[in-house]
Structures are given as C-alpha cells and as structure tokens.
Structure 1
Amino acid sequence: MTPDRPLDTLARALSGRGSAAAGLDAFRHLLDAMPVMIGLVDERRRHVFANHAYLEFTGRSMDELDGLSMAEVLGEDFHRAAHSAIERVMRGETVQTEGWMPNPRGGQCYMLRVLAPHRAEDGSVAGCFTLLQDMTERRQSQDDLFRLAYYDPVTALANRALMLKHMGDFRAMGEQFTLIVVEIDRYPDIRSSLGQAFADELLGDLAERLTRDGGPVDLLARVSDHGFGLLISGPCDVPVIERRLETVSAIVRQARSSTGAAVFLSASIGVKATGDIPERAEDVLRDAEIAASRAREGGGGRRAWFEPGMHARVVEQVSLEHDLRGALERESGLWLAYQPIVELVTGGLAGFEALARWNHPERGNLPPGVFIPIAESTGLVVALGRWVLREACRQIVDWQDKRLPGSAPLFMSVNLSPRQLVDPGFVKTVRGILRETGCEPQWLKLEITESAVMDKAEQAIAILQELRALGIKMSIDDFGTGYSSLSYLHRLPIDSLKVDRSFVSAMHQSEENRAIVRIIVDLARILGFDVIAEGIETMADANLLRALAVDYGQGYHFARPLPVGEAEKLVIDEPPWRERG
C-alpha cells in the first residue's frame, strides 16, 4: 500500500529522521491539538506516550495508559493483526494499513494505521509510533455507495452490475462457469394487478428462499426487473445443473408475500455454460436471458439451454422489429388480405375477415406467423391493430357502395390482440376510426380469442360492453381451444362463436368429433349466438357443416385470403363457389 504522505512525514519527524525532526517534546502541544491519534510504545510494546486524541479514543489518562501493552489498550484482535507489522517496524520499516478494528468503548471503527519506528539517539529502533486516523464515516459512505452500485434495494441481493463483475473476474482467471437466469412469468401482470408493494414482497420472499434452499452458488443476484441469476463456478455438470433447475422451479412455486398471500408463480429458466474459450460477461448474461426468453415462448414454466442459433434468431427479430416499426410509421409495405365469409345455406357472400400482411422491402411477403409475434412481444401490435382497423373500415365502406341494389350489407371481421383488449384508450380509438371512415358500427365485427378474454375477464367484459354499446358486433375466435368458463361466456356481449379449424378437419374421422361441433352449435343457439366455421377445405366439409346448422363458413374451399382487387370481384360479381354447387 502506498504510504499516506502527510502521516508518513509526521512519522518520520517523530522518529527523529529528516530535517523536520525537532524531538518529541517540541511537538507535544502540537500533537495534542491534532485529530490524528498518536501513541508511542517502547521496545517491550509498552505505552510511554499518547496525545490527547489517542487518550480520548482509549478512554484513559496518560497515567492510566503508561506501561500498558498494545493488547491491553487496543485489544487482542488489533495486537494479533498488527503483530507482523510491528515486527517490520522494529526492523526499521514504516508500515501503513487500514481496516476495521475494535473500539475500546464498544463497536467497530475503520482506521487508517501508520506504524513507524521511534529511534534512539544512536539510531537504533527504540519503539514504535502508532498513528491512527478514524475513517469510519468515509468507509460507511463508500460502503453505501458500493451498495447502491452493486446491490438491489428490494431483495438485498447483488445486482446485475456485480454479477457482470464476478463473471468478468472468472473470465480473467480462465475459470469456467455456468449462469442460470430465472425469470418470473407474467411478472408485469402481477405488478399491475396486485400492486408494486405486493410484487416486491414476492421478490423478497423468493430471494430468501433461493438463498436458503437454492443450493450453493458463487453469487445470487437480481439481474433484471423480474429475473434472478445463479452463478456456479467450475466445468458444467449437466445432470447436477438439471437437478438444480428442478429445485429452483419448485422454490419459485412456493413464493409468498409477507402477509402469506399467494399467486401461482412459475419461471422461465435459461442456462448458459461457458467452455474453454473465454467469453465476455455481457455476452454470457445476454445468452442466458435469450434462453429464458425461448423457454417462455413455450408457454412459461419451462427451461432451455442456450444454443448459438438462438442468438441469430434474436438478432433477426430485432432487425424485423426495427423494420416493422418503420413500416408502421411510414405506412409502407403493409397491406390487408381479405378472406370471404360465406352464408352456408345460400352460398351468398356475407362478409370478409381482414388479415394483416407485410411486404418486406428485402425479404418479400412475410407470413403473419413471422411478424405478428414480434408485434405482440414489443407492443407494436397496438399500432398495427389500429392501422388494420382503419384500413378494414375504409374498405368495407367502399364495398358497401359497390353492392347490387337490395343486397344485404357485408360485415368486416377484424382480429383483436390481447394487448388491444386491455388498452384503456381502445374504445376511444375505435370510435374515432368509425367517425373518420364513415363505417357503420354494425358493419364491423371484432374477433377475440377465449384466452384474451379470460386472462383479465372483468376488464375485458367492461371494454366489450362499451364496444357493444357503439353497435359493433363481436365474435369469439377459435372457440373450444381455450379455457372459457360458461359462467363468463353468457356474460360476454358477443354475437358469434367461431369453430376452430381443428374441429372442422376432424369431423369426418368419427361421430364423436361431429358431436363436438354439434354441441358448440347447440350452445350457441341457447345463448343466442350464430356460428362461423373456419378451415373449410372441401365440399364435404361445407355440406356436413350445413347439415349441422352452422350459419357461416370460410376456408380454401371458398377462397384463400385475397388481395383487395380480387376480393372486390367477389363483391361485384357472382361468387365462383356458387357455380360449383
């Protein structure tokens, strides 16, 4: 350690070396005025002098201090810690250290310590000066700053920065390690529905359980808003890590608030193990979080080990997100395809379902399965849904004017995402679009999934009722594949149930499968809904659904989703499926 220059100069002066030396007596009054504690012991380690600050610190007078050893005055712990330093001083060295030491009046204090030789007139070492400066407040301030920089205030665990620092240290030492990232599923929903305080209590309880029961780790940290990191040094033992993951998953399910209140918790877990080639700490943490994200895509409550292809996929998604955001801002490259919805009894055109499409400037037409999940995960689906709704309303208004006189009005079905259904400004948005485009409310049918409603049933019902009050029709999409409760179904202000294509395709396989469709139709009749079947591929499908009294149908038997020009021909001319019989 580099000696503190002022204290070292004073020590040299007191020890009788250098041009500043004037002897101990000449400095007595000066020393008593100094805040630095100065004591002198002889060659037997017995006190022979102390200034006022030293005496005040020890709580003794000079008469009481005279002849006492350092162990008797400053404690055995200090004496043991300083023993080797004093031996060096007695050989003529000056030694500076700092650290915590017992306070003779109780507690601990952090001291800057300079031990310097006191020399006799012949130059031999006759004793040892002890210079002490109380740095407790500075140290506590440093500790406070360290805690702020490296520890999480909610869980008292290490934070992301300290996790990165530890992994960087492992990398510098060439140490292999495994990082496990545990991300709580649906944490934003828990926080928004039950409050920040409740969410923090769950995190605190989970941190305690992981610390106590999660098994040995080199570091446990909160690495994100809803994520914990477990750092384990050494080559990765896959079976051992897998058992650890089972333990961690069970711990997450047991988390409770401080009041004992509980919600069902699950975690998506990602694992990244380093190999012989050192990797940057930031890259390891990123990869573990990518693996956790991939686990969440499987429905949550799962785990995944990082694979290189995952990173490439994320890079692609980030690129697509950027491009999609630009397409929405410029309204460029996005277009709607329209799939006809047919009245099964008459074969007449009843309406269309509007489906978003994206003609990427470099990748060409991208299927919805590529860009819709990106829009959902980033929140862009709200802006995308607004664009789709506006374009679909404009189009149905245009087509109504092109229908033959006396024709029944067409309706336009538009899919809603779960994010739109809980957007507090959504009803206002719909009202504004209807007014802007001149679309009659009854021409618009909004399609929602069972899961979108049931996730936040009361909130969804309230919004649906507001939409219904505007005169808009509504439909439950993919009915039978979710988890609707009949106690809620009869409360939903809907007009239609849409039978999922999986039931339609299975109708010809057995009487049981046909019975499922029949039950859906009967339920719809009891509740006053009409029924739409999707995924009609053949004439046989259409005939059987017609026999089961299904009202409407759509599918490739009638037409694929069409560009606006081709769809318009169906509006103006006789539909081709009528000619096929």
Structure 2
Amino acid sequence: MTPDATIEPLIEPCPLVPTDTPCSEIASHIFSRGSRHHILVQRPDGEVGVVGREAFLGHIARTPDRSTLAHQAVGDLAVWDLPTVSERTSLTAAAVRMMSADGGNGFRDLPVIDAAGVAYGVIRPVRLMRALADSSARHAETDGLTGLASRERLMSALEEALRALRTSDSRVLVAYLTLDSLRIINDSLGHHHGDAMLRTAARQILAAAAGADVVARLAGDEFAIVTRINLPSTVAVEAAAMAFGERLRAVLSQPDPSLPSTARARASIGVVAAENPTEDPDELLRLADAAMYSAKLAGGDRVQFGRRTAEGIDKILNDALYLTYQPIVDTITGVPTAVEALLRMHRGADDESFPLDVKQRAARLGATLDLDRWILGHACRALRHWEADDFKPARGLVMHVNLSPESLVVPGLADGLLSTIRDSGVSPQRIVLELSELSRLGDLAAARAELRALDAAGVRLALDDVGISLDTLRFLQEPIPFSIIKVDRTIIRGAGRGSAVDAEVLSVISRIADELDVAVIAEGIETDRERDAVRHAGIGLQQGFLHYRPMSEPLLKARLVAATTPRQRIRAI
C-alpha cells in the first residue's frame, strides 16, 4: 500500500436502513444473523448516520423493558454530522476527514458512499490508522521518485549481508555512485528532464545489479548498491569489485531514447569489498563514498576502488586541493603582518573554484577535522619553508587558518591541531585559528576546554565574520579566549557607502574590542572609501582586494619582498 493508496481494502459493508426503523428490527437482525457490522441509517434528506454495533448492544443491555425497542427509532442512536468518504478516497484524506469529525470522544467511524451517493459501508479508525502507519513505514523505506530503497533499508540490508558472512564464503560489495551531469541537465534542460534521468538511471542500475541485496537512492544524484558475490580462488576481490563497478558505469552511459541526446547519466563510482562479518557498515559506506568522490575529482565517468589507508582524506583530496594566501595589512605601514590560508580546488586546467562541495563531502564523511588539519598542515609547512629559505619578509609573519564549525564537536580537537602544528616545526604563537560567527554558541561552549588548551599552547583564536549577526558579539562575554575579531564585509561595504548605521556598528565593534583588549581586522576592503571608513573607526588592520588578492606562494613571496622594500612598495595587485 503506497502513500497514495485508497481506503477501498479497508471498507466494511453495512446494512442501510431508514432512520425510523425500530430498534427491535435491528436487534433481530443482529441476533439472528450474528452480524458484526455497524448499521447505516439515512434521513429523508439523504444525510447518513452511523450506529455502532457495540453502542447498539450497550443500549439494549441498559434497556430493562425490551418491548420499548419496538417503539424507538434507530435514528435516535445514530451519530450524525459525519463527513462521507468514497472508495477512491486516499488514506491521508480519509484521516483528515476523520479527525475533523472528532467530537471530543475519539475518532468516529465514517460512512462510505458509492458513485451514486448511496451509503454502503464504514471505515473504522483503528483500521485506517493501522493502514496509515504501515504505509508510512513503507514510504520511509522507499524513494518516492525512483521507487528504490531508502538509506535505512540500505543499511539494514548491508548489516544483514555482513552477518551472513559468518556462515558463507561470499564477499559483500558496496558501490556508491553519483551522476556526473545531473546538475547540468537540471540547469540546461529543466528539472523535469533531471527527474526523468534519475528514473532512467534507477532502472539501469537495477538491471545492471540484478540479484543485488538492495539498490538505494541516498540523495539527489547519489545511489548505493549492496550485493553479495561468490569468488573462485583465482579471482581477486578487488578485481571483482572493479568489474562490478565498470558494469554499472557502462550501463549508465547508455542513452535513453526518450530523453534529449545530451541527457546522459555517466557516473563516478566508488566500490569497496568486505570479507569480514565484523566490518562496520557505516565505515564501509563512508569508504565507498570517499572512493566515489575520488573518482569524481579525477574527472568523473570512472570507477575507484576504496582502500583503507592511513592517509584518509589527505590521500583522496591531495591532488585536487591547494592553498592560496591573502595578506593582512597594517594600513599605517602598508606592510603585511599576517596571511590567511584559503582552500581552493582544481577542476580543470583552466578552472579553479571555491571547494564548498569538498567541505560538504568532508562533513558527510565525518572528516571535517581531517580536512582542517590538512589545510593547517600545508599552511604551517609553507611558513616553515619560507623561514628555512631565509626569506626575511616571512620572519614574524602570522598564519591564519579557518576552523570549521563541525570540527568543534570532535573529541581531541586541541591535541589533533597541536600535533599538526608541532609536526610542521612552526611555533604555535605564529598560528591564528579563525572560527566563524556562524558557529553555534552551544558548540563553542562545549569546546571551551579544547579552545582554552589551544590558547594555553600559544595558538590565538579569531572570531570571524562578525557583523552578520551582532548577537555573536556576546561570544566575547563567554570564557572563550578570543584575541582577534574579523569584521565581515557586509558592515565594511555599508560604511564605505556612507551608511550611518554601518559606520556606527563599525565604531561600536572597535570600541568593544579596545575595552576587551582584542585586535580587530576589517576584511573585504575593496575601495578607498571602505579603507577610509575603517581607518576612521580606529581599525588599523585590513584585508581585501584593495590591498592584495589571494595568491600562490611564489607570487606571495614576490609581493612580500615588494611590500618590505621601501623603493618598490606597492599597495595592490
């Protein structure tokens, strides 16, 4: 029974009698035939009421003189003012009507009418609610668009398949795939074509994975398959897993004649294999997910086997990610005092982009702190290399690195970050960790001990993006050791355009920072007016395109030399 199923299988036929029918006739009908049904009664104007069998028998039991039943109309015992339903009414619609008929004594039985408007049965609350619960449970296990299983059913099937390894010589394969072109199809041809492509992909996957334990749609363009295979001793499990993935990839590359020629699925696929019943199902799925993303970063339309390696997300993303650096300038001297390490991602020879999807993927893999440590480690090693090369402008330069809000709740946060810094050979005093004001106050409070440990080791903490919501200035009242505030571009832009409110907000932030002995950096400076507005507010540290854009290491070194050489000092690039 689907969520759109009707009440037809739940209808209980009932006799229909006029409202003036004597109760004695109804009693005779019930006792002579052993009827278990309710009674429908109808007034001359066509309104239908219901007399419940139990309620009727209760009335008889309370009537000492049974002869009076011959003079009492059954209509006097009926429940009236009930909405009617038909066999075509859906479960959900019937439940809504039943709830509207609740008179304070519980849900009512509803009369059912046929196409001609004649009442012939009832729908009882207990049967309707049970059917709704069953339907909801099935709906929770099924994707509405493709009919494939949900994540819950997938995990259940995977757990069962792993348990079966205790008594068999089979192997469990998990494939995780994403359609490389769905976003392009949605944008260029419309979401109706995108939905059609998803349905086509679901049919193709089912055909290619015939006999699989389960095929599921996990998210927009992501699918997963769990299957068991028996291997001869001459076939390696990795080879079998790759062959399975290639079969999926080949089938998905086939065009659907009913779709535009450009609407081809093509897929990036990650596959993993399990031979041990003690494998962690969640970890297997994460490993397959990571392998899929590795295939996607490598260009897509390919299969990647997921290996358990110590490198984690570093191994997967190393070739795709890199850092750029944007200086933070003392506007009185014009000399950079710090640089911020910014994550970027290669997507092609001539294409670079902000890696938001990488961060989202890391969060889904539970590897946000791994990614943060990857960035921190590369930034620290860059700073160490500059010093080792006797690059004088880098002496005393401070490195800013962003810390994701998701990392705040990871156990061992401080130990992990400090270990990364120590391994690089850089002093913790040279590192600033920026925490977005989008971090939840509860997470910051929960991480208070970890943040204090970082501060005690010499790492400074900056509250980033201040100004998006001034409520976050209350963070500075918490016992969290922030020593730097970074004012968001939204406030800077308004102050530069002459907004009295934004200028006052900027001044308020500056005054609060002075009182709390906290440094302030204005970020997103793009015009002379914005620079001047920030100076007027008493803020001497600035960051933005007016001064420097994010740049590669070689270009950064050249700009630092120019900035620290008086005859060649320049302001912007």
Asked which structure has the greater CA Rg, the reply is 1
Band the TM-score falls in, shorter-chain normalisation? 0.3 to 0.5
Normalising by structure 2, report the TM-score: 0.47
